[in-house]
Amino acid sequence: MVTGRKQAKSWATDMAVSAARTAAFDILLRVERESSYATELLHSAHYRRFSTSDHALATELVMGVLRWRSRLDEQIATASAQPLSKLDLEVLIALRLALYQLGWLDRIPPRAALHESVELVKGARKRSAAPFVNAVLRKLAATALHSPKPSGQTDLYTSADDLARAFAHPLWLVERWADQYGLNAARQICGHNQTVPSTSIRLSVPGAEAELRMAEIDLTPGSLLSSARRVRTGDITRTIVFRKGQVAIQDEASQLIAALVSSEGKGRGRDAARILDCCAAPGGKTLAIADRNPGALVAAVDLHPHRARLLQELTRTTGSGRIRIIAADACQLPFSVPFDRVLADVPCSGTGTLARNPEIKWKLSPGDLRDLQSRQRAILDSALAQVAAGGRLIYSTCSLEKEENEDTVEQAVVSNRSFRVLDCRSELERLKKSGDLTWPDPTSLTCGPYLRTIPGIHPCDGFFAAILERS
């Protein structure tokens, strides 16, 4: 069977289809068929040859279609004589791409959007469907498309169903958020998820910021941390300091998790501290921890050998020589000497990152949360066994879901009586006092004893963290 990527290579040059639209079509097919992540594909080596403008358009098309998929399908259904469930995936994706350009983007000529989507279908060996695609798109183009952007009037959304439809989210997710956080907070979460999130970076060496500004990267201060900056304009990935690992793209909430991992273990000097990162890849938090604790030995574990190798290469690039990389299952950690600090940043649903990873909301099901919780609990129990007396474990996720967060922690503490949950507010106040945390109200970042950031309410992704201390 010929893959979408190979098809794209073979017919992109033969037909009048732009490189950006061909790439978007290919990536959306792979997201659906292979459960790939769009962001990873967009930043893969295959698309590095793209010009800045082509890459920007491909990104806009991919992420826009994924963000607004249910709204797109709703409109396509009104113009299609066939149920969407009966359409070939290639046909449906071509229709989504064209409709997104017609209704969501102002600078795309309608003729180009329509013509190239028909050509994409032909190139995907669905030539017989080309007249159907052409007819559906002409019908949609002739219809006054509703404004895709939901209104800012909060009183228009009186139920989770209103929010789910207006903001293109699965109803079951919105109902959960409305129940846990309230309808207004659910609206803010949904609204944030439909926007392009800002790019945050972590400065790891003195002078990096000055070099970025010389490279015409326009930066503003971070909202949470003094070591963070926001990229206003410019492509940071094309800079020398980025390639050297002297700055890292990392959301501020993720940076805050790393800041909670202190190196000062009980009865040990700072230089002797031992820190364990149980689920380390892709390595952002690992490197942040190592930078904050230059005298500590950091053990970084990942289940997959290829990801461990990538992390090893990353540490070589950044010169982080005190990081030891181990390929192992976090449920069966291979250590005999305990650690002063342990980070269990466990695999999760990722519902706090839907602005960056919109495909998650279409892949996830309620049953997945139960499966994830089982895995998270196994990792947490294993990680707790590695904590030294007087040491601490930081448990974290980028999920908004209670099963993966409070429930998992509270179950673990019941089964591990030598641990107690510390109030995150005290650690946030410590970071505030030291100047690391610049957010004016640390308490607003907490829910009970836990760290809790909510996208749309806080200027970052949605993260959860708990601090567990061993007696």
Whose tokens are 């938090």? That residue is 285
DSSP character for 150? P
Q: How far, rounded to the nearest angstrom, does the alpha carbon of residue 245 sit from its chain's CA centroid?
A: 20
C-beta separation of 285 from 258 below 8 A: yes
**For residue 320, what pLDDT is reported?**
66
| Residue 43 tokens, joined | 């930043």
**For residue 151, what pLDDT is reported?**
67
Beta strand 274-277 with 339-345 is parallel
> Comparing C-alpha atoms, which of 360, 372, 355, 398 is closest to residue 255?
398
**For residue 309, what pLDDT is reported?**
87
Residue 398 known to be catalytic: yes
* Chunked mean pLDDT (size 10), the chain, 471 residues: 38 64 97 93 90 93 98 95 96 97 88 92 94 95 72 79 96 98 97 96 90 95 96 91 90 96 51 84 91 90 88 75 89 94 97 98 96 97 97 97 98 96 96 95 97 97 98 93
- Partners of 302 in beta bridges: 327
C-beta separation of 236 from 249 below 8 A: yes
- Partners of 323 in beta bridges: 298
DSSP character for 143? S
**For residue 383, what pLDDT is reported?**
98
C-beta separation of 387 from 338 below 8 A: yes
Strands of the 218-221 sheet, one edge to the other: 218-221, 228-233, 199-203, 247-249
The C-alpha angle 467, 470, 471, rounded to 5 degrees, equals 135
* DSSP-based helix, strand, coil % in the chain, nearest 5: 50, 15, 35
Output the DSSP codes for 201-240: EEE-STTHHHHHHHTT-EEEE-SSBTTEEEEEES-GGGSH
Q: Report the alpha-carbon distance of residue 182 to residue 173 in Å, rounded.
A: 13
**For residue 7, what pLDDT is reported?**
41
Q: Report the alpha-carbon distance of residue 203 to residue 16 in Å, rounded.
A: 43
Domain boundaries, the chain: 4-142, 158-193, 199-249, 252-470
Beta strand 274-277 with 247-249 is unpaired
Count of Cβ atoms closer than 10 Å to residue 182 Cβ: 11
- Give strand ranges (E) for 108-203: 199-203
**For residue 131, what pLDDT is reported?**
95
Q: Which CATH number fits domain 4-142: 1.10.940.10, 2.120.10.70, 3.40.50.2300, 2.160.10.10?
A: 1.10.940.10
Was domain 252-470 assigned CATH 3.40.50.150? yes
User: Considering the domain 199-249 in this protein, what is its CATH number?
Assistant: 3.30.70.1170
**For residue 17, what pLDDT is reported?**
87
Residue from 190, 398, 424, 460 carrying the catalytic annotation? 398
DSSP character for 386? T
| Residue 138 tokens, joined | 């002409």
